[in-house]
Chains A and B, each alone.
Chain A
Amino acid sequence: MNDLLALILVLVAVSGTVAVLVREPARQAIVVGILGLLLALLFFAVQAPDVALSEFVVGAGAVPLMLTLALGKLRAQRLAADQLSARHAAAEPPGTWPGSAPNPEGP
């Protein structure tokens, strides 16, 4: 094993650990992308260019993109839910929610 491989292996281990330790999802998506890039470098260094290309387009391209898009969608939904509950709080006395009253006829 030469020095270049050892260096890339250490970098992969470090970025993998960082990806686990970072707890904020948006940052995690970026770190995972960097991990994918390093893995692609590793595969290229061990003479597997086909696999390196796959890892690069999936790990550094598609996965972070999908993660960030899903996070963006979640944030938009949370924003809408907040707006909705604020509107309900303004229109009705606090504590009531449509459909939350117990059914008088029982189950």
Chain B
Amino acid sequence: MTRGRRLAAAVGLVLLVGGLAWTAFGLPAFGHYHHRYGAVAARESLPLRRAENAVNTTAFDYRGFDTIGEEFILFVSVVSVVVLLRELGDEADHPPHRERPGATQQHSTLTRWVGSALMGPLAVIGADVVTHGQLSPGGGFQGGIILGVAVALSFVAGQYLILRRLRAIATWMDMLDAVGAGGFVMIGIAGLISVGPFLDNVLPYGHSGLLTGGIIPLANLSVGIEVAGAVLVVLAELLDQRLLSGPA
């Protein structure tokens, strides 16, 4: 590196660190949040939307359009993973693990037992988190990942019988991803058709319990399906492809 470039880098570094320090001293004190938007969003979610979780109401109702954008960021990244990790022509000639017949039996008994035991409870927790998004912390994103990991545990547990059955639904995973991503847009279009604005509420807000918040539970469900599909697609791409693409 020449001397001039080193000098330029030093000046840039000093400016960056100085600017960061300057802004850090301008921040409100730790734990003291003062902004009208947060206060209004938190206070009005229950009277306006009958939804108790203000964070979820903000994400799926007030800022629903942003969430659709985020959902499609995830969708596009999953598609790019599928494109990047596809089996290329020259890979098919000498696939890595097809010559090792015992590849699925390499997991220990304990791993298999723990993995199988966790699958059911995790799936229930994931469904609970997805369906109670408007009531308690969580929602479609968090619950969707738990659901995806619950199914993926069967890969880790190495249950060959379950895996063979899963291979049948493996082709559905991409579809699951797409259906979830499209579902949210459909909810938005329903608002466009029957009320006017995109993503406006078309359902009764309800009073208490599971069916409150209008479109928020539906939106959570579609995001949950999308995220679960996304996790499964990416994990399946990363896993031993032999198990999913059929015997060699």
Binding site for B on A (CB under 8 A): 1, 46, 48-54, 57-58, 61-62, 65-66, 69-70, 73, 76-77, 79-80, 83-84
| Complexed CA–CA distance, A46 and B31 (Å) | 8
Query: Is B216 located at the chain interface by the 8 A CB criterion?
Result: no
Query: Is B223 located at the chain interface by the 8 A CB criterion?
Result: no
Pairs A–B under 8 Å by Cβ, sample size 11:
A1-B31, A53-B138, A57-B146, A58-B145, A65-B149, A69-B235, A69-B239, A73-B240, A76-B96, A79-B97, A80-B94
Number of interface residues of B (CB under 8 A): 28
With A57-B146, A79-B96, A80-B94 known as contacts, the answer to whether A50 contacts B235 (CB < 8 A) is: no
**Chain A contact residues: helix, strand, loop or mixed:** helix
Q: Which residues of A contact B95 (CB under 8 A)?
A: 80
| Complexed CA–CA distance, A69 and B240 (Å) | 9
Q: Which residues of A contact B225 (CB under 8 A)?
A: none
Q: Contact: A76 with B97, CB < 8 Å?
A: yes
Q: Which residues of B contact A62 (CB under 8 A)?
A: 145, 148-149, 231
Q: Contact: B239 with A50, CB < 8 Å?
A: no
With A62-B145, A76-B97 known as contacts, the answer to whether A50 contacts B139 (CB < 8 A) is: yes
Q: Contact: B234 with A80, CB < 8 Å?
A: no
| Complexed CA–CA distance, A70 and B213 (Å) | 40
Query: Is B131 located at the chain interface by the 8 A CB criterion?
Result: no
